[in-house]
Structure 1
Amino acid sequence: MSVLCRKCQVIQINDAEHNGIVQTSASGKQYVSIGIGDDGDHDFKKRLLLDYELSDTLPDLPNLSQSAADGCALCSVIKNEIIRFLGKNAKYTQLLIHKVGYYLNPDPGDKTKPGRNWLHAMFVYFKLQYGEEFAGEDAAYALRLEVQASSTGLERLKKLADTASSVALRDTDNLQLPTRLIDVGLRGPTREVEEPRLVITADYPPLKNEDGARRYNALSYCWGPPEKAKKQLKTETSTLNDRLCQIPLSSMPAAHQDAVLVCRALGIPYVWIDSLCIIQDDKVDWEREAQKMGSVYANAFLTICAAQGDSCLDSFLRRTVPSQVVDVPFTSSIDPSVSGRFSLFVAPDEDPYKHIARDYFGGGCATDFLDPWKPLPTPYRFATSSYDPYNMDIPNCNWSRRGWTLQESILAPRALLFGARMVHVCIGGLWLESEDGSSSDRPFWPPIHLRAGVDEKSAMADTQVEDAWRFLAREYSSRSLTYRSDTFPALSAIAQVWHQMIKGQYLAGLFSSNLHLGLLWRARFGMRTPKQFLEAAAHEQYIAPSWSWASKPYQVTWVFHVRTSFRPKFELLCGAVTVDGVNPYGRLTSGHLLLSTKICKIPSTRLRRVSVFFGFIFPYELLTDDGRRLAHVVFDWRQEYASAPKDPETEEELEDGPIDCLSMVLVSSKATDAKAKIGKDGDVTYQDLLIGLLVLPTGKPGEYKRAGLFFTEESGLCGSIFWDSLEHQKVRLV
């Protein structure tokens, strides 16, 4: 147990002083819930403010240094982090720690379990002084130390797995097994272990049983960048027979080893790992199995998500140990039989700005909280609500930024997420519980409406399903892939699920039933010059036709209000894609749309930079020769905030893209039911809009590729009267 000086012993919580109540969990174990009143209601004060105050001199902090030298673990942590935070900044002369407090997260409970609060952070509130006066509000800070329960390891992991498995989601009698699984080597009632090996499920006798022996877990993890992915252990045609005999655990990369160890610990006899259960150099097998991944994850007993590390070489069971840990004992003053300990530490991060932040207060003027002799204003308003362990671990980890893991997380009904801090349980799209006992019923990634789309179509209207697909595509496009050729394969399982709910053809990431909406996308980042745009189109590996959002290796978004108020202004005569292999949702070699619509040469090349937001920025107005607005335009060759070259004399932008080659293709109309500021002078319009594609000719008659978007008011110069004068034509988009 860590040594604490007399001043720091205040962090040893006296539950009797903080409305502590001894309660009993569903398992029969007693615990103390702090901050709950006698009637069971939660105290709205989410902080336990402790009586702590300390002054010291910068830059050496002699008081903290002496206490640390005498053995106080907390003084040592505080001293080191503040010195690290300030660096060589010598302007501050005095430090005042004016309060220490624990932050509580409430769980209101329900009819099946009592409510409980849990600790997840401790904050050290401090101020800095320079010269003769206290610094201004900018110099009020809070150092955050994370709280972790001492009950970790195998026992806790089993309890979390039991929490997940307590929700019955699948009928194991009708379980669809993957083509291949890895037998993790559990043998006999004593669970002796052998080396793992690959098995073909249709021919493997133990899998013909009708009990829990058919259960398998699936691993969701990051292969990593190419240089690390090359070190991935794989099954290939030449190694298939060897894998069927044995896969020595020592030969596996760390992520694979950990998955096997988790399965053994939980008593689950099989695990599915993509690199080993799919023959990687057999194109037909790879495409067939990639198409089945939806079923693989949907039928897995648990999905093991390696939410720490950036490649298969990284262990997700071995966590980074903080350099300094303060172990705090706890014995209930209400019932001494309830005891334990917890740990305080600074998150292992090289950047101190990640855990020291500006502090904000309410209930008084700025100078009030800088004066140590005045009562502290309340409540503290430091933005701590996002610091629960789940949100610290999952949303921004490498696993959450990889393309393949999106469909895995959506399709997995039950997941154990191994984060950098702790393990988290998610069921049916909800974060249920974390290793420290914290819990919530709020959605984890993916958003709950995407899970609803997978689980029960009846809960969603057609427009909601279509909106959810665009939301999913936007999220997916922001993620990275080791091989860009996996753009469609890594989405194929979830595309197959969505295709069962959306009418029409699946066309390169879009659906024919709502092309008038799906075509209205924009890559948020990417090309900065027309030269880059034209060279990329000529030399890049073919991924998708130009009209598909998947043709751009950047995050995409759609125009706002993409709902039924949009009306198509074209007829789809033919839509077709050619797949490269057996997976109808997989890689493509070509694709085209044949539309009957209206098209015209762009009526002007004169532009004026006037940014208008319509789901994304349309940065230019297209003008007549006398300066009247024709349309708002955005070019695929120019990144959202990139500027065209400027005239050296007038400083006006001179767009150097192939504007004079562009044509405008009418796609949709929309009734505008909200105020929208349009134009430099900020006039407000309620007019209906016409929206379409900007296209460039390919050199073949009637054939074009996408180059941007436009929209205009129906009553404007380029509105209904203009388009009504044109005849429908056949337009082929590639």
Structure 2
Amino acid sequence: MDSNSSFQISSIQTGGDYTVEHELRNMNVPPEGIDDWHLLCACKKRRLGRAVTFNQVQSFAKNTCRLCRAFEQVILAVINGKLPDVFKGPKDAAESTNILNNLIVRPKDQHLNGHERYLDLLIMGKTLNIRLFVDAEDYNNFTVQGHSFDSMYPFEPETCSERGFRRAEKWLRECLRNHKCGQSGPSQVPTRLLDLQGSQVRLFETTGSEGPYACLSHRWGGPEYRRLTSTVTTIQTRMEGISWDTLPKTFQDAVIICRRLKINYLWIDTLCILQYCPSLTATQLVETQNDFARENSAMAKIYQNSYFTISADISTNMDSGIFSPCSPPKCFSVQVDDDNGNKATIYAKGRISHSDTPTDLETRGWTFQEFLLPSRVLHFGHFDITWRCWEVHTCECEFITGRHDGAHTWREALAKAAKPISENIEEASEWWARVVCYYMTRKLSNQRDKLPALSGLAQVYHKRTGDTYLAGLWRRSLLHDLCWYNYWEYQNRGPLLVGRRAEHYRAPSWSWASIDTLNGTTCNFWSSGIHLLHPISPSGTERPVCTLYEAKCELETSDPTGGVCAANIDLGVILIPARITKVVSTNNYRQRFPWTVNAIEDGMQVQECMPDCIMEDDNLKLGDKVFCAPIMEALTEDISQRGCIILKHLQGQKYQRVGFCVLEKKNNGSKTEESKQVTSRKSSWKFPDLTDPENAGKISDYALHFDANNCNRIVIV
């Protein structure tokens, strides 16, 4: 008789999960070809894809199955509240008995064969994922009933534990020996470093012969917090020595990490670059600005040449520290007899998820390039340490490595962007577009830092492609780069899907750097792929719709990838008149734009209109005349779509960008009803081969007509 024969499946809550309901219906149905089903123990039935009850597990645990005995210990510990992050425990003995009588152990993952990873428990309609593992440091490759376990690390009380440092050493050693993640030997060093070898930390000017150094990525915090910086007036004192008590807590922790990992030198921006302070004289201010420009122009090399970068993920200010003060998620251990007759220890913990919510550090503008530039990063988080290099991304809890649930998508995508970029201009341009999209969500304390805070990544792009930097855009892909716009997510609930124009000049109106995004919006680019380099039809035939004559920037400092004090582009374009009007739409997201354009001539329709900012920032009002200037055209056999920058006339040839729109004109004679259905079923567009004279004639009714010798030559500032 099956020990589950009296079990009432109908009494089990499934939470409406179809998979669980299917498992329950089939739990007493033997798989095909199994004749002695009633004799099999619970762990074997689970291995064959069937759910089992706790009573079944307990029954075989009392007999001969050591694996069922281990499962019994784990289940009883969970029910008794040993993993409060997963299950709080019962209110009383009666509830405990009821839970155990109705508890289901879900089937084992069929792909794992003789390997145990999760014990999935169905309790009160909810599945609890219990992670089973053995201590990686004490692992001796034992098995229980022929089953092995993952080797992982139990959580430590804090992220500065000795075991944590040993893991960090192991990751660093493996990367240096086996990966191609940048230099591991002597390399160019920054102008200044902190020497950690003496009783006091001291700042010094390097000679180029120093050994490996680490960098620190951290939060400064607001002016209400204690700060330690180097200025023209304090730098000599910093070189004489900095007492331990003078160092903010975050800096102290960084020194501890470096010393523990046998790194003698540390680079911290606030101490190794001269910083501004209100009492500077005019001469001192110039010296400070020149030092900042020189060091900022070397930012890419500083981080890329570092042995590794310490990322203080939980830091909120210089005194908040690096090491986590939070209690880590709980885990417990059970003793088992392995297949060799020895005592062994199995650990259990809940299925941990690193929060997908950005930390304070991950919201800041300056720390964005500090995430992407280094080839090796040690992240100190809330409850564990994470290692990231160009080849490996892992953590102590193993949630990041080998996960299958698709979490951390934005961090994973960002980590991929940290890898070396391609020399191919099209691939490099796509990389830069992703960088800008992520960067525009970040915050800056000083709004004039919009371009300087991205300088290191711009240096990487320039070194890889040789292209010319133009206030956040690039010369070889400039027409593509001009087609940026405020980008929203449909789940965005903000009141307005626009930005704000910078209060003080920091970039030309045609650069995304001239605005600050609001309400969770970011920046995106209209076209991708083959559109990147020039206006082109998707068939691959070049068809310009504007002419770029000149683009130039007047730099604010000696840093060619830093701030600008003036910039303009000289274009030959078609100017299509339009007027600012109120948005009238039942579409929720369109209602959240402050204005749109209408009165477009020549049978064109406004498909999308994305203002750069609120009307007041650009001195606009409803009814004002503006111009749509097509920069790129996407052309199919059925439609012409024109990506246009919306321009406000200033004076003479000068214009200011105020938004972006997509105008479209359809080929009215392109489709019969039959062809519409065919195209719909294929879900594809047909692109005309513009090298064919017959096709060139067909598109003349709806394609944009551009004559470089008969267009409007304008300057956008």
Q: What TM bracket, shorter-length normalisation?
A: 0.5 to 0.7
| 1:635 and 1:707 in contact (8 A); partners too | no
| 1:608 and 1:623 in contact (8 A); partners too | no
Deviation of the 1:518 alpha carbon: 0.9
Whole-angstrom distance in 1 between the partners of 2:705 and 2:98: 70
| 1:184 and 1:195 in contact (8 A); partners too | yes
Whole-angstrom distance in 2 between the partners of 1:697 and 1:262: 57
Aligned match for 2:260, one of 259, 265, 269: 265
SS of the equivalent of 1:421 reads coil
Deviation of the 1:291 alpha carbon: 1.7
Paired residues for 1:312-331 under 5 Å? 312-321=318-327, 325=330, 327-331=332-336
Q: Is residue 2:550 matched to residue 1:579?
A: no
Match of 2:473 in 1: 510
Whole-angstrom distance in 2 between the partners of 1:436 and 1:235: 40
Deviation of the 1:74 alpha carbon: 3.1
Aligned match for 1:293, one of 275, 289, 299: 299
Q: Is residue 2:593 matched to residue 1:630?
A: no
Match of 2:154 in 1: 150
Match of 2:312 in 1: 306
Aligned match for 1:662, one of 613, 626, 643: 626
Give the partner amino acid of 2:270: S
Deviation of the 1:245 alpha carbon: 1.3
Higher strand share: 1
Give the partner amino acid of 1:588: V
Q: Is residue 2:191 matched to residue 1:185?
A: no
Whole-angstrom distance in 2 between the partners of 1:707 and 1:231: 41
Deviation of the 1:325 alpha carbon: 4.2
Match of 2:462 in 1: 499
Whole-angstrom distance in 2 between the partners of 1:529 and 1:73: 47
Whole-angstrom distance in 1 between the partners of 2:50 and 2:526: 40
Give the partner amino acid of 1:589: C
Judged with a 3 Å threshold, the aligned counterparts in structure 2 of structure 1 residues 163 and 470 are, in CA distance, closer, same or farther, namely same
Match of 2:386 in 1: 424
Q: Is residue 2:175 matched to residue 1:167?
A: yes
Deviation of the 1:452 alpha carbon: 4.0
Deviation of the 1:195 alpha carbon: 1.8
SS of the equivalent of 1:602 reads strand
Q: Is residue 2:206 matched to residue 1:201?
A: yes
Aligned match for 2:450, one of 487, 493, 509: 487
Give the partner amino acid of 2:216: L
Whole-angstrom distance in 1 between the partners of 2:472 and 2:53: 53
Deviation of the 1:301 alpha carbon: 0.9
SS of the equivalent of 2:552 reads strand
Give the TM-score normalised by structure 2.
0.66
Whole-angstrom distance in 2 between the partners of 1:151 and 1:298: 31
Q: Is residue 2:209 matched to residue 1:235?
A: no
Judged with a 3 Å threshold, the aligned counterparts in structure 2 of structure 1 residues 78 and 158 are, in CA distance, closer, same or farther, namely closer
Give the TM-score normalised by structure 1.
0.65
Whole-angstrom distance in 1 between the partners of 2:510 and 2:190: 35
- Deviations 1:465-508 (CA, angstroms, capped at 9, x unpaired): 11111011001111222222221111101101112334542111
Match of 1:362 in 2: none
SS of the equivalent of 1:664 reads strand
SS of the equivalent of 2:189 reads coil
Q: Is residue 2:217 matched to residue 1:220?
A: yes
SS of the equivalent of 2:82 reads helix
Deviation of the 1:183 alpha carbon: 1.3
Judged with a 3 Å threshold, the aligned counterparts in structure 2 of structure 1 residues 335 and 546 are, in CA distance, closer, same or farther, namely farther
Whole-angstrom distance in 2 between the partners of 1:564 and 1:49: 59
Judged with a 3 Å threshold, the aligned counterparts in structure 2 of structure 1 residues 485 and 96 are, in CA distance, closer, same or farther, namely farther
> What is the number of equivalent residue pairs in this alignment?
554
Whole-angstrom distance in 2 between the partners of 1:238 and 1:104: 66
Match of 2:525 in 1: 558
Whole-angstrom distance in 1 between the partners of 2:402 and 2:647: 48
Deviation of the 1:269 alpha carbon: 0.8
SS of the equivalent of 1:463 reads helix
Q: List runs of 5+ in structure 1 lacking aligned partners.
A: 1-34, 54-67, 84-93, 109-114, 128-139, 187-193, 346-386, 645-655, 673-684
Judged with a 3 Å threshold, the aligned counterparts in structure 2 of structure 1 residues 95 and 657 are, in CA distance, closer, same or farther, namely farther
| 1:635 and 1:709 in contact (8 A); partners too | yes
| 1:164 and 1:415 in contact (8 A); partners too | no
Aligned match for 2:401, one of 429, 439, 444: 439
Paired residues for 1:376-455 under 5 Å? 389=353, 392=354, 396-428=358-390, 430-434=392-396, 439-440=401-402, 445=412, 447=414, 450-454=417-421
- Deviations 1:211-259 (CA, angstroms, capped at 9, x unpaired): xxx01111112223x245x522111111111111111222222221111
Q: List runs of 5+ in structure 2 lacking aligned partners.
A: 1-41, 58-75, 92-96, 133-151, 277-287, 537-543, 669-700
Deviation of the 1:333 alpha carbon: 3.0
Once the two structures are overlaid, the 10-residue window that deviates more, 163-172 or 660-669, is 163-172
Match of 1:372 in 2: none
Judged with a 3 Å threshold, the aligned counterparts in structure 2 of structure 1 residues 50 and 433 are, in CA distance, closer, same or farther, namely farther
Deviation of the 1:540 alpha carbon: 0.6
SS of the equivalent of 1:662 reads strand
Match of 1:728 in 2: 711
Once the two structures are overlaid, the 10-residue window that deviates more, 74-83 or 234-243, is 74-83
| 1:528 and 1:637 in contact (8 A); partners too | no
Whole-angstrom distance in 2 between the partners of 1:731 and 1:333: 80
Paired residues for 1:5-404 under 5 Å? 72-74=80-82, 98-99=102-103, 125-127=122-124, 140-142=125-127, 149-150=153-154, 152=156, 153-168=161-176, 169-171=181-183, 174-185=186-197, 194-202=199-207, 208=209, 214-224=211-221, 226-227=222-223, 231-281=226-276, 282-321=288-327, 325=330, 327-335=332-340, 337=342, 339-340=344-345, 342=347, 344=349, 389=353, 392=354, 396-404=358-366
- Deviations 1:531-563 (CA, angstroms, capped at 9, x unpaired): x98xx65x7122211111111211111224353
Match of 1:373 in 2: none
| 1:607 and 1:623 in contact (8 A); partners too | no
SS of the equivalent of 1:465 reads helix
Judged with a 3 Å threshold, the aligned counterparts in structure 2 of structure 1 residues 725 and 580 are, in CA distance, closer, same or farther, namely closer
Whole-angstrom distance in 2 between the partners of 1:307 and 1:51: 45
Whole-angstrom distance in 2 between the partners of 1:46 and 1:274: 58
SS of the equivalent of 1:208 reads coil
| 1:291 and 1:493 in contact (8 A); partners too | yes
Whole-angstrom distance in 2 between the partners of 1:620 and 1:551: 20
Whole-angstrom distance in 2 between the partners of 1:75 and 1:165: 34
Judged with a 3 Å threshold, the aligned counterparts in structure 2 of structure 1 residues 270 and 231 are, in CA distance, closer, same or farther, namely same
Match of 1:708 in 2: 659
Deviation of the 1:51 alpha carbon: 6.1
Judged with a 3 Å threshold, the aligned counterparts in structure 2 of structure 1 residues 693 and 435 are, in CA distance, closer, same or farther, namely same
Give the partner amino acid of 1:587: G
Judged with a 3 Å threshold, the aligned counterparts in structure 2 of structure 1 residues 578 and 489 are, in CA distance, closer, same or farther, namely same
Match of 1:364 in 2: none
Judged with a 3 Å threshold, the aligned counterparts in structure 2 of structure 1 residues 238 and 426 are, in CA distance, closer, same or farther, namely same
SS of the equivalent of 2:509 reads coil
| 2:296 and 2:455 in contact (8 A); partners too | yes
Deviation of the 1:425 alpha carbon: 1.3
Match of 2:643 in 1: 691
Match of 1:477 in 2: 440
| 1:623 and 1:629 in contact (8 A); partners too | no
Give the partner amino acid of 2:168: L
Judged with a 3 Å threshold, the aligned counterparts in structure 2 of structure 1 residues 597 and 157 are, in CA distance, closer, same or farther, namely same
SS of the equivalent of 1:572 reads strand
Deviation of the 1:637 alpha carbon: 5.7
Match of 2:695 in 1: none
Judged with a 3 Å threshold, the aligned counterparts in structure 2 of structure 1 residues 331 and 314 are, in CA distance, closer, same or farther, namely farther
Match of 2:140 in 1: none
| 1:161 and 1:266 in contact (8 A); partners too | yes
| 1:407 and 1:493 in contact (8 A); partners too | yes
Deviation of the 1:633 alpha carbon: 4.0
RMSD (CA atoms)? 4.7
- Deviations 1:641-699 (CA, angstroms, capped at 9, x unpaired): x9x9xxxxxxxxxxx94443211112111234xxxxxxxxxxxx84232221111122x
Aligned match for 1:590, one of 558, 562, 566: 566
| 1:124 and 1:142 in contact (8 A); partners too | yes
| 2:54 and 2:105 in contact (8 A); partners too | yes
